[in-house]
């Protein structure tokens, strides 16, 4: 079962501590993310709550976005140059 599906199964609004536990990050991090608008949240008086449906949608969007990031690998030329430097340095010893 996907994390988004677990969250979506919740019936009541989530608290900061709930979201922090689900995402395995600190409570302070969740407060910062909510304040910056990086995670969907509701401010009710002085409390912050999270709609499980909104969090599930956000999680799905995050996993789609993050899986599309490219990994930058060094070019073959650089690795050959590094290998030659290593070989040259070992010959000097």
Domain CATH code at residue 38: 1.10.10
Residue span of the structural domain in which 18 resides: 3-69
pLDDT tier at 4, thresholds 50, 70, 90: confident
Chain-centroid distance, C-alpha 9: 21
Is position 87 within any domain?
A: no
Residues 50-91 have pLDDT tens digits of 999 999 999 999 876 665 444 444 444 444 444 555 455 444
| pLDDT for the residue numbered 87 | 53
Asked whether 20 and 26 are in contact (CB, 8 A), the reply is yes
Q: How far is it, in rounded angstroms, from Cα 70 to Cα 27? A: 30
- Total count of domains within the chain: 1
Q: How many CB atoms lie within 10 A of CB 34?
A: 19
Let me know if residue 79 belongs to a domain. Answer: no
Distances in whole angstroms, Cα of residue 45 to Cα of each of 9, 11, 42, 51, 69: 26, 21, 10, 16, 38
């Amino acid at each position: 079962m996907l994390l988004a599906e677990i969250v979506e199964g919740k019936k009541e609004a989530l608290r900061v501590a709930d979201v922090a536990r689900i995402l395995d990050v600190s409570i302070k991090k969740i407060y910062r993310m909510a304040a910056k608008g990086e995670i969907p949240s509701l401010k009710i008086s002085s409390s912050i709550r999270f709609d499980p449906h909104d969090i599930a949608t956000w999680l799905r969007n995050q996993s789609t976005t993050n899986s599309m990031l490219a990994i930058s690998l060094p070019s073959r030329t650089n690795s050959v140059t590094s290998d030659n430097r290593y070989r040259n340095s070992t010959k000097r010893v």
